[in-house]
Each structure stands twice: as structure tokens, then as C-alpha cells.
Amino acid sequence: MSKDELFLLDFGLSPFCIRVRIALAEKGLQYKGQEEDLFGGKSELLQKSNPIYEKVPVLLHNGKPILESTNIVYYIDETFASPPLLPACSYGRSRARFWADFIDKKVFDGGAAIWRSKGDELELAKNEFIDILKKLEGALGDKDYLGGEKFGFLDIVLIGSSSWFPTYERIGGFKIEDECPKIGAWIKRCKGRESVAKTLPEPHKVCELVGMLRKMHGIE
């Protein structure tokens, strides 16, 4: 067995899995992966590795599972030191953790509220989502990246969700670059990085998945 065997249980369109793939790419790490069929049947390996939640992503490092995407990114940063993804200072790290927690709690569910609704509910969901992005815009300020001058942990945590934004924009009838221009500019800047450009899925694939989910939920 080679010294570091990395195996990723994955789902291509999941913003949470995208985070992990970008982190691995930023570190220049080689890994193997397996796409899970979340709608058909979860693999035995997934059920065994993550018996509590049976969710992706799961990173297996020499057979040992690490669970929860943010946790996995921390683990990758702590195990493979170069280049560092988290800030060097304790306060900077606590701010990064705070905003990662905010992103985890708000962004995906906020977006889901958009595709799950219509009419007045949709309008409310759209406004709440824009409010979430405005708060993140506040955190970005005039910096190039959420991490500061360099692309880092917090950028990785948020950029995965950006492949879902065009779908939210289409359903909600709004444009992020109009409502939150700094976030729009940040997305473009991040997409200029090789690790992000190679990892982010085509937005139309997300559109197709969400279309399927909306049919499943009887929304269209």
C-alpha cells in the first residue's frame, strides 16, 4: 500500500463534495473516487464508512473515514501542510470557522428554499437568500478573497455552492451580480483558479438535477 491512499466517496454536483475536491486539488493530492448513486442505492462502503448519516462526501485516508465536508477540508489542511488553506493566526482561524459555519447553516438550505417554492414563498426565499449573500459580501469587504489576499479555506467552502447559483437565479428571477456585485466579482476571480475551474460542474447539469428534484417534489 502506498503511504497515503486517498479515496473519496463523491457526488459530482454536491457543493459539499466540490469543496473537498477543490481542497485536494489545491494541495496537489492524488486520489481515487467513487460516485455514489444517492437516488438509486448507497454503496456498502458509504453505509459502512458513514453509518450515522450515510452522506457524502467521505474521505478515506488509508482506509480511515473522515466525515462532513468542512471537517474533511480541515483534516486535509492539517495533514498536508502545503500550501496552507487556513489563516496562520488563531483569530483569523476563528473568523474562518465562524463564516464556514454560517455558510454551512445558511447557503445550501437558503438556495433549496428557492427551488422548493413558488409564488409568494419564492419571493420570500429569494429575498432571504440575497440577504445571506449580502452578509457574506460584508465579510468579503474589499478583499480579493474571503481569506484575504490569497484564495483559501473560506473561499473553498463557499465556491462549491456557486455552481448552483445560476439555477437559483433562474428560478428566483434575480441576478447575483446586480444584487451582490462583490460576490459576483469574487466568483469570477475564483473561477480563474485551475483547481476551481477544473472542479466546478457545468451549471446546466445542476439545472437538470434541480428540475428533476422539483418534479419529484411536485413543484413543476
Partner 1 sequence: MSSSIKKMAEKVTLLSFWPSMFCVFALEEKGLSYEYREDLPNKTPLLTEMNSIHKKIPILIHNGKPICESLIIVEYIDDVWSDRAQLLPSDPYEKAQARFWADFVDKKVYGAGGKITWHRYKHEAAEGKKELIENLKVLEGVLGDKSYFGGETFGYLDIALLGFYMWFPAYETFGSFSIEAECPKLIAWGRRCSQRESVSKCLAEPNKMVDVVVRFRRMFGLK
Please work out, in degrees rounded to the nearest 5, the angle formed at the alpha carbon of residue 161 by the alpha carbons of 199 and 63: 60
* Residue 94 touching partner 1 (CB under 8 A): yes
11, 16, 74, 115: which one contacts partner 1 (CB under 8 A)? 74
Q: Smallest gap, in angstroms, from Cβ of residue 105 to partner 1?
A: 9
Q: Smallest gap, in angstroms, from Cβ of residue 95 to partner 1?
A: 8
Q: What character string, x for contact with partner 1 (CB under 8 A) and - otherwise, covers 120-159?
A: ---------------x------------------------
Residues 31-60 that bind partner 1 (CB under 8 A): 52
* Residue 27 touching partner 1 (CB under 8 A): no
Binding site for partner 1 (CB under 8 A): 52, 61, 64, 66-68, 71-72, 74-75, 78-79, 90-91, 93-94, 97-98, 101-102, 135
